[in-house]
Amino acid sequence: KGRTAEAKAILGSLRTAEEAYNLEHQTYIAYSATATNLPVEAPTACDTAHFFSYACSSGSATTFTCTATRCTAGGKSPQGPAAGYNITLDQAGAWGGTAGYY
């Protein structure tokens, strides 16, 4: 539950930042290792301080999905299962991802 709580908190912050960006620019923006234009502290690669890595993709000017992907190596211990899993949050506030983890 604690690991999922980290993901939900950071995904919520990313969603809030996406909405603020959209209000100013009338579009959503990608959040990834190459485009970190949102003012949120969310690792785009696994690091020892977090259980997940994070990214947001913009499907269009009116949609986006932010994803937390469980680290299977390089993240905070304990590492996730080898098959990995993810949790998603979209512009409508709908949660999704791997069943049983969100």
Tens-place pLDDT, residues 25-76: 999 998 998 888 899 999 999 999 999 999 999 878 899 999 999 999 999 9
pLDDT at position 77: 92
Partners of 70 in the β-ladder: 52
For the beta sheet containing 95-97, the strands, ordered from the edge strand earlier in sequence to the opposite edge, are 52-60, 63-70, 86-90, 95-97
User: What's the pLDDT at 59?
Assistant: 77
98 pLDDT above the threshold of 80: yes
C-alpha–C-alpha distance, residues 16 and 41, integer Å:
13
Q: What's the pLDDT at 92? A: 95
- Position 31 scores a pLDDT of 92
According to DSSP, the β-strands at 63-70 and 86-90 are antiparallel
